[in-house]
Amino acid sequence: MGDADWLREVGLDWGWEDNYPDFREHPTKRQRWAARPASQVNEDPECVATAAELVAIKQEILRLQNQEKALKEMLLEKLERGQWVSILSEESESIHIVERCKPSPRKQLNTQKALRFVRKRLGRDAAGLMAEECAMNLSSRDAIYVRLGLEAEECPKAE
Q: Which H, E and C letters describe 59-122, residue by residue?
A: HHHHHHHHHHHHHHHHHHHHCCCCCCCCCCCCCCCCCCCCCCCCCCCCCCCCHHHHHHHHHHHH
How far apart are alpha carbons 153 and 133 in whole angstroms? 9
Residue 55: per-residue pLDDT:
92
Q: For 76-88, what is the mean pLDDT?
A: 60
Q: For 121-136, what is the mean pLDDT?
A: 64
Band (148; pLDDT cuts 50, 70, 90): very low
Band (86; pLDDT cuts 50, 70, 90): low
* Average pLDDT value for the chain: 65
Contact 126, 118 (CB under 8 A): yes
Q: For 51-76, what is the mean pLDDT?
A: 87
Contact 79, 100 (CB under 8 A): no
Kindly report, residue by residue over 6-43, the tens digit of the pLDDT: 666 665 555 555 555 556 677 788 887 777 787 877 88
Residue 144: per-residue pLDDT:
46
Angle of CA points 116, 147, 74, to nearest 5°: 95
Q: For 144-156, what is the mean pLDDT?
A: 41
Count CA within 13 A, CB hemisphere, residue 85.
Answer: 11
**Amino acid present at 48:** V
Domain spans, the chain: 3-40, 42-78, 81-159
Q: What percent of the chain has pLDDT over 70?
A: 36
Q: Which of 89-93, 135-139, 140-144 has the lowest mean pLDDT?
A: 140-144
